[in-house]
Amino acid sequence: MGSPRRRRWALLAVWGPGLVVMLADTDAGSLITAAQSGAQWGYRMVLPQLILMPILYVVQEMTVRLGIVTGRGHGALIRERFGRGWAWLSAFTLFASAIGALLTEFVGVAGVGELFGVSRWVSIPIATTMLLALALTGSYRRVERIGLAIGAAELAFLVAMVMARPQLDALLAGLSSMPLGNSSYLLLVAANVGAVIMPWMIFYQQGAVVDKHLSVATIRQARYDTATGAVLTQLIMIAVVLTVAATIGTHQEAAPLQTVGQIAGALTPYLGEFGGTVLFGLGMLGAALVAAIVASLAGAWGLSEVFGWQHTLNQRPTRATAKFYTTYALAHLVGAALVLGSVDLVNLAVDVEVMNALLLPIVLGLLLVLEARALPEQWRMSGVRKYTTRTLCLVVIAFGLYMVPQALGWT
C-alpha cells in the first residue's frame, strides 16, 4: 500500500502550474468583462464561455510539452531557435503584457479597497509589499501554494451565483442562442476571447514546469492539471455571467458596469451587502492578486531567459540572480506607480485589453512554430489534433483583432 500511495502523492505534486495560471487568467479585467456580458446579453453569453474551455487548454498544453520536454523556458527557446531579434520582440510583448496585466490587477485591488472605504494610496502599497515579499521565500512550490490559496477566493463567485438563483429555463434558452449577427454581441464575445490568452500566461506556465523540475513521465498529470484549471476558470467566468444575468440583467440592463464599485453597487440590492459587496469583493481581490503574482513572475522569468540571466525562485536573491529579482520588483513598482498616478482607471484597463489583442498574433504564432520545430517528432501534434489546435488559435487571433477598432473608437 505504501508504494502506490507514495506514487499517487508524487503525481499530485505535479499539479499547480496549470491551476495557478488559469486562476490568474480570470483576472480583474476578465471578471469585469464577464459582468458586462451578463448585464447586456444575459444567459446568451454562457455558451461562448463554454467554448473557450478547450481553447484555453490547447494553448496552455503546448507550453507544458515545450517546457517539460526541452527543459527551457519560452524566452530561452525563442532565442535558441530564432535568434536575438525574435527574442527581443518576444521580450517586448512579454514586458508590455506583464506591466499591462499588473495595471489591471492593481486597478482591481484599488476598486476592492474603495468598496470598504480604503484609499488606493493604502491598498496598493500594501498589496505591492506583500507581492514583493512573496518572491523572497526561496521556494517555487511555496509561491505556488500561496498563489493557489489566494486564487481560491475566486470560489466566492460560485456562492454568489447560487444566491442569485439563475433560472434554469432561461439558461437553457440562452444556451441555444448566439446572435453573432449583432455587432454589439460580437464585440463582447471578442472581448471575452481577447481576455483568454495573454503572453504572460504562456511564459509563466512554461517557466513554472521548468522551475518545478517536472519530467517527461509527468506530462499526463501536467495535462490534467491544465485541463482542470481551464474548466475551473471558465466556471468562475460563467458564475459571474449568471450572477449578473439573474439580477442586474433582468431588471436594469442599462446599469454601468465598468468598475468594481459599479458592479458591487448594482448587485447589492439583489444579493444584499454580504453577497453584493463582501463575496464579490473577496473574489475580485483573490483574482487580482493571483494574476499579479503570475504576470510579474512570467515577466521576470521571460526577460531573464531572453537576456541569459540566471533565474529561479528556488533560492533567495544573490548576486547571480539579482537581475531576475530586480526585474520582478520593478514590474510591481512601475505598475503600482502608474495606477496611483492615473485618474481614469477604466480607460487604462481598456487600453491594456487592446494592447493584448494586438500582441496575440505574435505570441500565438511563435508558440505554434516552436511546438512544430523545438520538440522531438514524437512530442509534436499531428493529424486532427494539430489542425484543430491551429484553427482554434487562429480564432483567438481573429476575435482579438476584431475587438481593436471598436475599443479604439474607430467604428
CB-facing half-sphere around the CA of 274: CA atoms within 13 A:
5
Question: 382 lies in a domain?
Answer: yes
64, 276 in Cβ contact below 8 A?
no
Question: 8 lies in a domain?
Answer: no
What cell does 385 get? 489534433
Q: Which of 260, 266, 233, 236 lies closest to 248, judged by CA?
A: 266
Mean pLDDT of 321-329: 88
Measured over the CA atoms of residue 56, residue 61, residue 63 and residue 64, the dihedral's sign is positive
Q: Which residues contact 61 (CB under 8 A, 6 or more apart)?
A: 223, 226, 227
Q: What is the pLDDT of residues 228-262, one digit of tens each?
A: 999 999 999 999 999 999 988 776 555 567 778 88
Question: 2 lies in a domain?
Answer: no
Q: Around Cβ 396, how many Cβ atoms within 10 Å? A: 24
Question: 241 lies in a domain?
Answer: yes
Pairwise CA distance, residues 142 & 219, whole Å: 21
Question: 31 lies in a domain?
Answer: yes
User: Tell me, what's the pLDDT at 3?
Assistant: 56
What is the span of the domain harbouring residue 235?
A: 13-408
Mean pLDDT of 67-82: 91
Coarse DSSP helix, strand, coil percentages of the chain, rounded to the nearest 5 percent: 85, 0, 15
Mean pLDDT of 267-282: 88
Pairwise CA distance, residues 4 & 219, whole Å: 19
Exposure string for 57-76, b = 16+ CB within 10 A, e = fewer: bbbbbbbbbbbbbbebbbbb
Please say if the pLDDT value at position 65 is more than 90. Answer: yes
Question: Per-residue confidence at 58, pLDDT binned at 50, 70, 90?
Answer: very high
Q: Which of 30, 69, 4, 2 lies closest to 352, judged by CA?
A: 30
DSSP state of 110: H
Worst-scoring range by mean pLDDT, 32-41, 194-203, 241-250, 374-383? Answer: 194-203
Please say if the pLDDT value at position 1 is more than 50. Answer: no
Please say if the pLDDT value at position 351 is more than 50. Answer: yes
Helix, strand, or coil here: 284? helix
Q: What is the pLDDT of residues 131-165, one digit of tens each?
A: 998 888 777 888 888 888 999 999 999 999 999 99
Pairwise CA distance, residues 215 & 218, whole Å: 6
Pairwise CA distance, residues 158 & 211, whole Å: 32
Question: 59 lies in a domain?
Answer: yes
User: Tell me, what's the pLDDT at 378?
Assistant: 93
Question: Per-residue confidence at 344, pLDDT binned at 50, 70, 90?
Answer: low
Question: 7 lies in a domain?
Answer: no
Exposure string for 227-262, b = 16+ CB within 10 A, e = fewer: bebbbbbbbbbbbbbbbbbbbbbbeeeebebebbeb
Please say if the pLDDT value at position 403 is more than 50. Answer: yes
Domain at 361, CATH number: 1.20.1740.10
Q: Which helix (H) or strand (E) holds 25?
A: helix 17-25
Which has the higher per-residue pLDDT, 61 or 268? 61
Q: How many domains does the chain have?
A: 1
Question: 381 lies in a domain?
Answer: yes
| Percent with pLDDT over 70 in the chain | 90
Q: What is the mean pLDDT of the chain?
A: 85
User: Tell me, what's the pLDDT at 10?
Assistant: 54
